[in-house]
Amino acid sequence: MIKLGDVRARLPARLCQPPDVLRGAGAVWRRHLIVWRTMLWASLTSNVFEPLLFLFAFGYGLGAIVGELGGLPYLVFILPGMMAYTAMFAASFEATIGAYARFRLQKTWDAMLATPLSLTEILLGELLWCATKATVAATCVFIVGAAFGGVPSIGGGLLGLLMLVLAALCFGACGHAFLAYAKGWDFFSYVFTFWVTPMFIFSGVFFEVTRFPDPIQLLAWVLPMTHVIAVLRPLTTGQELGWIAILNVLYVAGLAVVAFLVARRRIGQRMFD
């Protein structure tokens, strides 16, 4: 029997310790968790109740009219869209309005920068927190949806939640990139009008993207949400996932990295120069 402790003892010490940057990000993440716990019930209640409202309205109300879409009962069709939308909204909100309050109003980032934490660690911690909140919210939709028979493939749905972790990192990083240029609270109404709402409408939450005319379809595929739903829907519905899903995942991951670098650079200029 090989014991984990023995293996660890033989490895160089630095391999057993998380790198500094992750430890710092972890401390930031932990702070958000402690603050969030004080409003846990309000947060969880809205996470569960809101998707219930949506599912009731769309699954039963609209579903009764639509019947089937893409060969699927409407509830089954719309559920992955709702999961993705919930994650996208939660991550975008946390990375813009939530983070801006910590950046400007409560000066939480200033307090953090007066410690050994670096700005990269702070932003990484913020991003991990976005992903955490978004994944918790999407999981609530998943559980509620599954309870109403909206998830034919539970295994696929669980895999889909992993995809949503990546998606939330991407939406969070994009939110931080917007925040980096925000001069005041008003700025975020642009973010919601020109970024969040279009993804709600054009990315295939309610119906397939292919129903749009070509130029609109092209626009839709620029939005990361379209790629997220393209991967998520086959997973929860148990349909076959094509090789092109790799490109969808790469697009979302690549955008996450680019947005993170833009945010890190611009916020650094704002705070240090």
Give contact residues for other proteins (rule: CB under 8 A).
Answer: 20, 23-24, 27-28, 30-31, 34-35, 38-39, 106-108, 110-117, 271-273
- Distance between CA atoms of residues 104 and 91, nearest Å: 19
The label of the residue with tokens 């680019």 reads 258
Shortest Å distance, C-beta 4 to other proteins: 22
Nearer to other proteins, 35 or 147 (CB): 35
Q: Environment class of residue 225 by beta-carbon count within 10 Å: exposed (0-12), middle (13-18) or buried (19+)?
A: buried
Nearer to other proteins, 15 or 114 (CB): 114
Q: What is the CA radius of gyration of the chain?
A: 20
Closest CA to 232 of 47, 82, 104: 82
Nearer to other proteins, 22 or 72 (CB): 22
Straight-line distance from the first to the last Cα atom of the chain, in angstroms, rounded to the nearest whole number: 56
Closest CA to 144 of 229, 54, 219, 65: 54
Closest CA to 263 of 85, 23, 95, 135: 95
Shortest Å distance, C-beta 107 to other proteins: 4
Shortest Å distance, C-beta 176 to other proteins: 20
Shortest Å distance, C-beta 17 to other proteins: 11
Shortest Å distance, C-beta 21 to other proteins: 10
3-state secondary structure of 5: helix
Nearer to other proteins, 16 or 57 (CB): 16
Return the H-helix or E-strand segment holding 85: helix 74-93
Nearer to other proteins, 29 or 251 (CB): 29
At position 162, the amino acid (one-letter code) is L
Nearer to other proteins, 115 or 193 (CB): 115
- Cβ neighbors of 24 (< 8 A, separation 6 or more) are 116, 117, 118, 121, 122, 124, 125
Shortest Å distance, C-beta 30 to other proteins: 6
